Amino acid sequence: MTETHFAQGALISVLTSEPLDRFLDYRAPEGGVQLGSFVRVPLGPRRVLGVVWGPGAGDFDIARIRPVHAVLDVPPMAEAMRAFLTRAAEYTLTPLEAMLRLATRVPDLGAPPGMRKVLRRGVGEPDRLTDARARVLEVLESGGVFAPGELSALAGVSASVISGLEKQGVVDRVAAPRDAPFDILQPDLRGKELNEDQQRAATALREAVRSGAYGTTLLKGVTGSGKTEVYLEAVAEALRAGRQALVLLPEIALTGAFLERVEARFGARPAEWHSGVTQADRRRCWRGVTSGEARLVVGARSALFLPFRDLGLIVVDEEHDTSYKQEDGVLYHARDMAVLRASMTSAAVVLASATPALESWANARAGKYARLDLTERFGVAEMPEMAALDLRSDRPEPGRWVAEGLRAATQARLAANEQVLWFLNRRGYAPVTQCRACGEQIGCHECDARMVEHRFRKILMCHQCGAERAVPTACPACGKEGMMAAIGPGVERLAEEALALFPEAQVEILSSDQTESARALKARIDAIAAGGADIIIGTQIVAKGHNFPNLTLVGVIDADLGLQGGDLRASERTFQLVRQVAGRAGRAERRGSALIQTCVPDHPVIAAILSGDEEEFWAAEAAAREAAGVPPYGRMAGVIVSGPDEARVVDVARELGRRSDMLLAEGAQVFGPAAAQIARIRGKFRYRLLVKAPKGRVIQPALSKWRASVKLPPNVRVVLDIDPQSF
Ligand code: ADP
Ligand code: ZN
């Protein structure tokens, strides 16, 4: 059995959040320390955050081992959480300390209570400044707050020196800030009366939560079928069981509406965790989660790494959404991590979507996940009527993108006072700016990417690195004046077309470009939902969960956009995106319709979108992936080698390729290296290798050895991406 309490002076092993790649030994402080406690420990001249991970190894100079400075005023990290961080680190090939950093992204974690220097004139120059007192003041000079024991340890003085200073009013004590308490969520307050399908699903989910065992359920239901109502019943059950629940949403802009729904259902607001939350609220959420007082958290993917005290349910809403993959820093997929975490803490997982990821669909088919279907929209609402507009016969004139069929349908809906959405997954005005004289296209200086014109802001912008430039009047290559032309459409240009066609209409753009806060965006979305727009022009942001009751027509401007390029996930993504967008039409009494502009109406993906025959589509996709031996029917890892010096990057990539026999024992094959799809970003060249292994193999240890076998020259980075999203 593992010890859970270490008496004063005992050797303990501490995981710090510093990039050291190993545990450090310390001695338990006065009063001892619990396993899992958050502590502050000395590291050289600094003090750093750590967690007590186990008994010390005692494998270096015992005499030099220092005591822990302070045990922070928060409950210890639960064992299941420590186990989760360990497994997540192994799975994603990330150092454990990087996982700890993800779990402790919170301002002044446990800083107060403690001592600090009083900031008043004259204070700090007491009459009798003994050496001991001077040392204390020197430590306090940093302006920080120190636990009394920590302060005496750092200054090397006895406790009486500090109490002396306190009496003289040179230092004072600060109390821990009081977090506002969380209002009690009432599981039985205002449940909706569920229809038969919903009831069946809700009962199954309640049982899954009540069992107190791990289990994942795919909740598949068309847009508007009541998935949210149903999984809120699972949340209610977790609350009744006295456990915590986490609901992940793919987009901050969705949280506002969701919080209101939770409040209506449970009579109180849950805790929130995402990048738009204030520092004070972050701290309150983190502490509430750790203590167990915060019973429900609504958040972005990073909320998965909060140290919940007793997590009983994780809901991943819109589980197919690509934003669940974190693409920098620690590379992880929130859906996979949710399943891993739940399996280690005996929690239930609900994956909700109208268009599940192929992985989830396949796991349900294989019996690894349970599956619940909601096949009908709630109430009188019906699924929209879907039709293709063949751009080969109904071709807009040059410089226009709306086919006559869509124009006429839009006009009819506007005349009936209904809303129309045109969907185009391209931000800005035009994706290409080209010189009509010499053909030069304006590219980013730092990236292998074209600059995108944003006409409202009168700039060119690189969507890879965010660089901005003025739109040139003369061609940077041939110098001719007035020849630069916008090529292709973006949402801004489409808005121009909408106004040209319907000068009376109120046109609103919804894209992730708007540099507005989550709150402002929510207000705008509410205004649009309340009728504040006739034509909404949107990027993929509109595909996610927003509810526009008066919207009855969706026009997809270019359904073929996502099908180009060799990515094996292109079909899946296009299917999901277009079905999701189409699902925005006709959510209330009026039946909606969706018009899909395409040059390839017979393409299997477009055909599946139109027929709605999903099971057949998924089965065909699954068969293709299985034949290719790629996820979910094979393991895959991407390797990106990057750096500012292309020759060095290529050398490292080739060297990795040459050593690929190191992976043979795992049955793995290595493809590449080749230039990455975007071969340069922010001045760094990028080369890519792909590792493919049979399903069921644990390839991480071999990958890790393989990576370590190549010595890296300065400024070259190798990043391993387990389960890459594109392949
Ligand atoms: P989904 O999450 O599948 O898109 P929602 O749960 O958002 O569906 O439900 C769509 C709309 O129908 C919401 O406005 C919701 O409040 C309403 N709704 C769904 N089920 C019920 C029910 N049983 N009683 C009353 N309203 C319902
Ligand atoms: Zn750039």
Lowest mean pLDDT among 4-8, 122-126, 488-492, 591-595: 122-126
Q: Which is it for strands 114-117 and 33-34: parallel, antiparallel or unpaired? A: unpaired
**For the CA of 223, the nearest atom of ligand 1:** 4
Contacts 24+ apart (CB under 8 A), 611-620: 612/383, 612/386, 612/579, 614/355, 617/575, 618/358, 618/361
Taking residue 561's Cβ as centre, other Cβ atoms within 10 Å add up to 16
Locate 218 and state its tokens: 């795919």
Mutation test residue for ligand 1: of 220, 227, 228, the one with most atoms within 8 Å of CB: 228
**Global pTM value:** 0.90
Distance 683 CA to ligand 2 centre (A): 8
**What average pLDDT does range 449-461 have in this prediction?**
93
pLDDT at 1: 46
Query: Tokens 């019996």 correspond to what residue?
Result: 367
493 Cα: distance to centroid of ligand 1 (angstroms): 35
β-strands 684-694, 669-681 pairing: antiparallel
Q: What is the pLDDT of residues 296-314, one digit of tens each?
A: 999 999 999 999 999 999 9
Looking at the CA of 466, name the nearest ligand.
2
pLDDT tens digits along 181-211 = 899 999 999 878 999 999 999 999 999 999 9
695 versus 315: the higher-pLDDT residue is 315
Ligand 1: residue whose CA is nearest its atom 10: 224
194 Cβ neighbours under 8 A, 6+ residues apart: 202, 226, 229, 230, 233
Q: Atom 25 (ligand 1): residue with closest C-alpha?
A: 192
pLDDT for 180: 85
- Measured CA to CA in angstroms, residue 386 lies from 543, 563, 621 at distances of 16, 19, 21
**Strands 370-374, 215-221: parallel, antiparallel or unpaired by DSSP?**
parallel
CA–centroid distance, 95 to ligand 2, in Å, is 29
The whole-number pLDDT of residue 431 equals 94
Dihedral angle sign, alpha carbons of residues 692, 697, 703, 706? negative
Ligand-binding site membership of 447 (annotated): yes
Cα(450) to ligand 2 centroid in Å equals: 8
Check whether 496 has a pLDDT greater than 60: yes
For residue 539 and ligand 1, the question of a CB distance below 6 A is answered with no
- CB neighbours of residue 138 within 10 Å: 11
How far apart are the CA of 249 and the centre of ligand 2, in A?
29
What would the pLDDT profile of 610-658 be if each residue is shown by its tens digit? 988 888 899 999 999 999 888 889 999 999 999 999 999 999 999 999 9
Q: Is 435 annotated as a binding residue?
A: yes
Is the beta carbon of 192 within 6 A of some atom in ligand 1? yes
The residue assigned the tokens 């403690």 is 114
Residue 225 Cβ inside 6 Å of ligand 1? The answer reads yes
In the chain, how many H helices and how many E strands?
19, 33
599 is in an annotated binding site: no
Residue type, 109: L
Distance 7 CA to ligand 1 centre (A): 55
Q: Are 70 and 49 in contact (CB under 8 A)?
A: no
Give the other-Cβ count within 10 Å of 141's Cβ: 10
Task: Residue 321: name the closest of 284, 360, 372 by CA.
Answer: 360
**401-406 average pLDDT score:** 97
* Peptide bond connecting 632 to the previous residue in cis, omega within 30 degrees of 0: yes
Distance between start and end Cα atoms, the chain = 45
Calculate the average pLDDT of the chain: 90
Lowest mean pLDDT among 169-178, 577-586, 679-688, 715-724: 169-178
Cα 543 to averaged position of ligand 1 atoms, centre (Å): 17
Q: Is 228 in the pocket of ligand 1 (CB under 6 A)?
A: yes
Q: Is there an atom of ligand 1 within 6 Å of 355 CB?
A: no
**Are the CB atoms for 205 and 217 separated by under 8 Å?**
yes
CA 501 to ligand 1 center in whole angstroms: 35
Indicate if ligand 1 lies below 6 Å from the C-beta of 198.
yes
% of the chain exceeding 90 in pLDDT: 67
- Percent of the chain with pLDDT strictly greater than 70: 96
pLDDT at 565 over 90: no
pLDDT of residue 111: 58
Which of 8-17, 138-147, 246-255, 396-405 has the weakest average pLDDT?
138-147
Residue 475 annotated as lining a ligand binding site: yes
| Structure confidence at residue 590 (pLDDT) | 79
- Nearest atom of ligand 1 to the alpha carbon of 225: 3
User: 195: Cβ below 6 Å to ligand 1?
Assistant: yes
Substitution site in 227, 229, 254 for ligand 1 pocket (most atoms within 8 Å of beta carbon): 229
Locate the ligand 1 atom nearest the alpha carbon of residue 194 and give its number.
23
Instruction: Looking at the CA of residue 192, tell me the nearest atom of ligand 1.
Output: 24
Q: Which ligand approaches the C-alpha of residue 546 most closely?
A: 1
Tokens of 483: 């020849």
Tell how far the Cα of 193 is from the centroid of ligand 1, in angstroms: 10
The whole-angstrom separation of Cα 105 and Cα 556 is 40
DSSP state of 170: S
Reported as a pLDDT band with limits 50, 70 and 90, residue 538 is: very high
Q: Is the pLDDT of residue 491 over 50?
A: yes
Contact 682, 703 (CB under 8 A): no
With CA atoms as reference, report the closest residue to 560 among 500, 626, 591, 605: 605
Query: Cα(504)–Cα(498) distance, rounded to whole angstroms?
Result: 10
Cis preceding-peptide flag for 112 (omega within 30 of 0): no
Question: Closest ligand 1 atom to the C-alpha of 317?
Answer: 2
pLDDT of residue 276: 86
Smallest CA separation from ligand 1 atom 19, residue: 226
Q: Rounded mean pLDDT of 388-392? A: 96
Q: Whose alpha carbon is nearest atom 14 of ligand 1? A: 224
Question: Which residue, by CA, sits nearest to atom 15 of ligand 1?
Answer: 226
pLDDT of residue 612: 82
Q: Which distant-in-sequence residues (6+ apart) come within 8 Å of 380 by Cβ?
A: 589
pLDDT at position 455 is 92
Please name which of 216, 129, 214, 138 lies closest in space to residue 164, comparing C-alpha atoms. Answer: 129
Using the predicted structure, report yes or no on whether residue 326 has a pLDDT greater than 80: yes
Taking the C-alpha atoms of residue 14 and residue 33, their distance in angstroms, rounded to an integer, is: 11
Check pocket membership of 194 for ligand 1, CB cut-off 6 A.
yes
Can you tell me the distance from the alpha carbon of 351 to that of 358, in angstroms, rounded to the nearest whole number?
Answer: 12
What is the band of 533 on the pLDDT scale with cuts at 50, 70, 90? very high
β pairing state of 70-71 and 38-43: antiparallel
Q: Is the CB of 223 under 6 A from ligand 1?
A: yes
Residue 28 in this model has a pLDDT that exceeds 90: yes
Ligand 2 center–CA 331 separation, angstroms? 22
What pLDDT sits at residue 519?
75
Answer whether 282's CB lies under 8 Å from 107's CB: yes
